[in-house]
């Protein structure tokens, strides 16, 4: 019998777990421990929030009233320093114990900092090197993004590309480096991914395929040295967007199984049955195989729903193809499924049309799709994947054919 | 007796899709989305998603819900109730009637 649940971490995974527990009828004590003032949404951090168009209070995942209405005790500005499964409790930084029958870990990760010489500032203050995981990170970076500022973005994945887009719109001179020629090709397919990467250049960003080998603090800026032919350059600010490191320390100290993430089963339960893990830090083992961690917003939300269902002894929600979005240079991109599993791709419309999409196919079925300013194409594709709807590639490629009609078969 | 505003023909709204009616016609603060469900029932909600600036008329309509085209928050077609994050506020519903293949809207009236 579960009477008391404590959730550690107030991102989308933690808040979704709390919401799903109450929606599923959980009537016991529910506590959410969050490091910040209140749980807030992360996707805007690289976009509207970084640009200064939104304040942090506008990012609140739930209004304050919600915590009262749902009887969620929010312990804010608090960090859990130890799990005490033997005592049925977690310990806070100030030594306080919060008792619980079940603990849900949802603390996500921290930004990766590659071991580049000089990355921590040398004898300078190191203030010019930034990462972006939290509202505080964005607040620190924002004053550097002034017109004419020289900004280096390292990594052209989702966060790096979004920061580069925001910075160039604010008038910065942006250099975006990535070691691969076509970032996101595995997720979006090579055609759409190369169009998307070229969009940076069309908006005035200098995109270079290279890696940073050194940073040196100079009076006039931070000098970045690159591998290959690119000459060293001076920048006013550097933003690292090279991935995250899951926060597994609490789990490791409590001797839970970890492997570049906290290992969980399909109900998000760790190697200790009293402890669950959800969101970016959880790594699922299915049929004996460790899957890759997913770091997407909706995946974290679904983790929360699965964890809650497991705790309540309810049927977990039906799985669905993975889905994510990214916004850059005023374009809305969505993707679903596993593009790297596709045997072939078809383009619906034409690359560079105001809106278009790409479908990945295998054995007469859709396995993935990606769209530019055509979210309905991805919503249709996602249902085709989930329902295993057989499709005709030629009709899929024809923008005149209604996708909802194709979905109905 | 108020007969509503004739705003569209039913055939103007494909099944599973929506059509935005401009606020200059509805006289409301926001445009109103006409949303035709997969069972062909037509509903009306304030068009702008309560989360960010997106038109629910461009959303995915299916089985009693509309999914926002930006971040996939879902709203109940009947009463506008939000089903999940990132939106946290309900969408405002309006009464709508279909008579002889014509869609009549009653802006500001509860369904």
Predicted pLDDT of residue A409:
75
How many interface pairs between A and B have CB atoms less than 8 angstroms apart? 39
Task: Indicate whether A253 and A225 sit together in one domain.
Answer: no
Predicted pLDDT of residue B3:
84
Q: Which residues of chain A fall short of a pLDDT of 70?
A: 1, 121-126
* Distance in angstroms between the alpha carbons of the first and the last residue of chain A: 46
Predicted pLDDT of residue A2:
80
- Domain-located, residue A65: yes
Task: Indicate whether A206 and A307 sit together in one domain.
Answer: no
Task: Indicate whether A234 and A132 sit together in one domain.
Answer: yes
Domain boundary among A204, A222, A242: A242
pLDDT band at B1, cuts 50/70/90? low
Residue-wise DSSP of B9-53: EGGGS-TT-EEEE-HHHH-SSS-EEEEE-TTS-EEEEESB-SSSS
Query: Using one digit for the tens of pLDDT, what is the confidence trace for A160-176?
Result: 999 999 999 999 999 99
Query: Using one digit for the tens of pLDDT, what is the confidence trace for A101-157?
Result: 999 999 999 999 999 999 986 554 558 999 999 999 999 999 999 999 999 999 999
Give the ranges where A6-147 is alpha helix by DSSP (H): 12-23, 48-51, 64-69, 135-141
Predicted pLDDT of residue A85:
81
- Domain-located, residue A321: no
Predicted pLDDT of residue A35:
95
CB distance A193 to A185 below 8 Å: yes
The structure tokens listed for B51 are 């989360």
Helix (H) or strand (E) holding A188: helix A185-188
Minimal C-alpha gap between A380 and chain B (Å): 9
A258: containing domain: 4-110+245-312
Fill in the DSSP letter of residue A128.
Answer: T
Share of chain B above pLDDT 90, in %: 96
Among B39, B40, B52, B86, most A C-beta atoms within 10 A, so best to mutate, is B86
A297: domain CATH number is 3.50.50.60
Say how many domains are in chain A: 3
Instruction: Judge if ipTM > 0.85.
Output: yes
Query: Using one digit for the tens of pLDDT, what is the confidence trace for B16-61?
Result: 999 999 999 999 999 999 999 999 999 999 999 999 999 999 999 9
From A15, A63, A404, residue closest to B16, measured CB to CB: A404
| Phi, psi (degrees; rounded to nearest 5) at A172 | -75, 155
Query: Using one digit for the tens of pLDDT, what is the confidence trace for A373-387?
Result: 999 999 999 999 999
Domain boundary among A312, A338, A371: A312
B residues 55-74 lying closer than 8 A (beta carbon) to A: 58, 60, 67, 69-72
Task: Indicate whether A204 and A281 sit together in one domain.
Answer: no
Task: Indicate whether A100 and A185 sit together in one domain.
Answer: no
Query: Using one digit for the tens of pLDDT, what is the confidence trace for B53-102?
Result: 999 999 999 999 999 999 999 999 999 999 989 999 999 999 999 999 99
Task: Indicate whether A305 and A392 sit together in one domain.
Answer: no
A385: domain CATH number is 3.30.390.30
Predicted pLDDT of residue B56:
98
CB–CB contact A376 B60 (8 Å): yes
What residue of A is the nearest CA neighbor of B58? A376
* Widest distance between CA atoms in chain B: 40
Query: Domains along chain B?
Result: 5-106 (2.102.10.10)
Task: Indicate whether A103 and A249 sit together in one domain.
Answer: yes
Buried b (16+ CB within 10 A) or exposed e, A321-357: bbbbbbbbbeebbbbbbbbeebeebbbbbeeeeebbb
Minimal C-alpha gap between A17 and chain B (Å): 12
Which residues of A fall below an 8 Å CB-CB distance to B? 12, 15-16, 19, 41, 43, 61-63, 66, 298, 301, 323, 325, 332, 375-376, 379-380, 402, 404
- Domain-located, residue A31: yes
The structure tokens listed for B38 are 């997969």
Predicted pLDDT of residue B35:
98
Task: Indicate whether A105 and A84 sit together in one domain.
Answer: yes
Which residues of B fall within a CB distance of 8 Å from A323?
Answer: 72
Task: Indicate whether A196 and A290 sit together in one domain.
Answer: no
Of A85, A66, A81, A76, the closest CA to residue A33 belongs to A76
CB distance A338 to A328 below 8 Å: no
Which residues of B fall within a CB distance of 8 Å from A375?
Answer: 58, 60, 69-70
Q: Does B81 touch chain A (CB under 8 A)?
A: no
CA angle A111, A286, A245 (to 5 degrees): 10
- Domain-located, residue A225: yes
Q: Name the residue with tokens 């970016």.
A: A280
CB–CB contact A376 B88 (8 Å): no
User: What residues does A214 pair with on adjacent strands?
Assistant: A225
Domain boundary among A283, A312, A341: A312
CA angle A43, A49, A51 (to 5 degrees): 125
- Domain-located, residue A166: yes
Which residues of B fall within a CB distance of 8 Å from A379?
Answer: 60, 67, 69, 72
Predicted pLDDT of residue A311:
97
Task: Indicate whether A238 and A250 sit together in one domain.
Answer: no
């Amino acid at each position: 019998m579960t009477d008391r649940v404590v959730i550690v971490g107030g991102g989308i995974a933690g808040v979704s777990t709390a919401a799903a527990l109450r929606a599923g009828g959980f009537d016991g004590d529910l506590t959410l421990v969050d490091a910040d003032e209140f749980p807030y949404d992360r996707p805007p951090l690289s976009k509207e929030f970084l640009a200064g168009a939104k304040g942090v209070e506008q990012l609140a995942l739930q209004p304050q009233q919600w915590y009262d209405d749902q009887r969620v005790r929010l312990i804010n500005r608090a960090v859990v320093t130890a799990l005490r499964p033997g005592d049925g409790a977690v310990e806070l930084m100030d030594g306080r114990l919060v008792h619980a029958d079940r603990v849900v870990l949802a603390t996500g990760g921290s930004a990766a900092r590659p071991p580049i010489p000089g990355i921590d500032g040398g004898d300078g203050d190191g203030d010019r090197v930034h990462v972006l995981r939290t509202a505080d990170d964005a607040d620190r970076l924002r004053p550097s993004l002034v017109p004419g500022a020289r900004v280096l973005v390292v990594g052209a994945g989702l966060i790096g590309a979004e920061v580069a887009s925001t910075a160039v719109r604010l008038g910065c001179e942006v250099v975006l480096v990535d070691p691969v020629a076509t970032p996101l090709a595995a997720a979006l397919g090579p055609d759409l991914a190369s169009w998307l990467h070229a969009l940076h250049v069309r908006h005035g960003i200098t995109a270079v395929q290279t890696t940073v080998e050194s940073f040196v603090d100079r009076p006039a800026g931070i000098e970045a040295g690159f591998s290959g032919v690119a000459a060293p350059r001076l920048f006013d600010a550097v933003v690292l967007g090279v991935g995250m490191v899951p926060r597994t320390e609490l789990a490791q100290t409590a001797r839970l199984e970890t492997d570049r993430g906290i290992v969980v089963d399909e109900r998000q339960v760790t190697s200790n049955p009293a402890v669950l893990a959800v969101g970016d830090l959880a790594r699922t083992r299915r049929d004996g195989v460790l899957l890759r961690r997913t770091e997407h917003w909706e995946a974290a939300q679904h983790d929360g729903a699965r964890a809650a269902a497991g705790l309540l002894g309810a049927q977990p929600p039906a799985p669905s193809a993975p889905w994510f979005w990214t916004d850059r240079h005023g374009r809305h991109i969505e993707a679903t499924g596993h593009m790297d599993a596709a045997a072939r791709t078809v383009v619906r419309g034409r690359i560079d049309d105001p809106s278009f999409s790409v479908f990945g196919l295998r054995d007469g079925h859709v396995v993935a799709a990606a769209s530019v300013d055509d979210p309905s194409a991805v919503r249709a594709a996602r249902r085709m994947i989930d329902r295993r709807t057989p499709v005709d590639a030629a009709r899929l490629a024809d923008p005149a054919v209604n996708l909802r009609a194709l979905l109905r078969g | 007796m108020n007969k509503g505003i004739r705003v569209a023909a039913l055939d103007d709204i494909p099944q599973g899709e929506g059509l935005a009616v401009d606020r200059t016609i509805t006289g409301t603060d926001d445009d109103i989305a006409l949303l035709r469900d997969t069972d062909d029932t037509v509903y009306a909600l304030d068009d702008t998603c309560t989360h960010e600036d997106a038109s629910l008329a461009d959303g995915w309509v299916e089985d009693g819900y509309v999914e926002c085209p930006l971040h996939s928050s879902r709203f109940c077609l009947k009463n506008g109730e939000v089903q999940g994050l990132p939106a946290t506020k309900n969408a405002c519903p309006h009464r709508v009637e279909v008579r002889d293949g014509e869609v009549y809207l009653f802006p500001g009236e509860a369904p």
